[in-house]
Amino acid sequence: MRLRACGDTHVGMRRKVNQDAFLIDEDVGFFIVADGMGGHAGGEIASQETVDAVHDMIVRNRGVIEDFASKPISQDSSRAICRLLESSVQSATYMVYGMAEQSPAHQGMGTTVSAMLIAGAFAITAQVGDSRIYCIRDGESLQLTEDHTLVNWQIREGVITREQAENAPYKNIITRAVGSKDYVDVDTQILSVCVNDQFLLCSDGLHGYLQRDEIAEIFSGAFDEVCGKMISLANDRGGKDNITSVAVQILEK
């Protein structure tokens, strides 16, 4: 299999600074979106530093990736590849937290992370916060990641219904972020992938304006236009936040 990807980011219609960051590395098969938070450019710093730090650790450990991709999947290899992604996010967490501690103006800065590594016939994801990863397969889109938000926790615990969550005034409060503390729980998973599978990594400035069926519909068109179309749609519907979209497609070699 081979990969192709495209990505774009936009400040949106209401923000003055874009605190989102993303990275595409088709050679390694690594993709990441980060949505920063914090005033005085803190969010912008947190997201970009996190993207760079996570990518750097992934690249420096290509041996782990090659070992995973070249052998039949096992409990040990699964544990090793998930630990690589988790450790990469944890190292970024420690770094961003330390930077904030050294600068009073940046205290409290942090970022979400949605990262995906394609290795062999598998996708490995790492998730912190409320950016998302979707898989588009056979004309349908499926959300792969769980939002780490107060509202999502309340839904899961039965405190409120999904209908009540739609109008909750605190629906954007996240419960996990890279850098807000010196440690964060990172969700990881491994999924089988197939030729023609497509993936979307995006910040909440995009997925907050799109329905799942709309994602699949847009992906059915020209691949190199996917990110631009999604960002334009989010801006047309309000664009109240920064908007970032990364699209990935798996093709025959």
The Cα diameter of the chain in Å comes to: 51
| Euclidean distance between CA atoms 84 and 54, whole angstroms | 10
| Euclidean distance between CA atoms 106 and 214, whole angstroms | 37
Q: Are 148 and 228 in contact (CB under 8 A)?
A: no
* Average pLDDT per 10 consecutive residues for the chain, totaling 253 residues: 96 96 98 90 93 98 97 96 98 95 88 98 98 97 96 86 80 90 97 98 96 95 97 97 98 92
Residue 14, pLDDT score: 94
Q: Which residues contact 11 (CB under 8 A, 6 or more apart)?
A: 17, 18, 242
Half-sphere exposure of 138 (CA within 13 A, CB side): 2
Phi and psi angles of residue 139, each rounded to the nearest 5 degrees, phi first = 80, 10
Does the model's pTM come out above 0.75?
yes
| Euclidean distance between CA atoms 227 and 165, whole angstroms | 28
Q: Which domains does the chain have, with CATH numbers?
A: 2-247 (3.60.40.10)
Residue 39, pLDDT score: 67
Please report, in angstroms and rounded to a whole number, the separation of the first and last CA atoms in the chain: 4
Residue 184, pLDDT score: 97
Residue 170, pLDDT score: 78
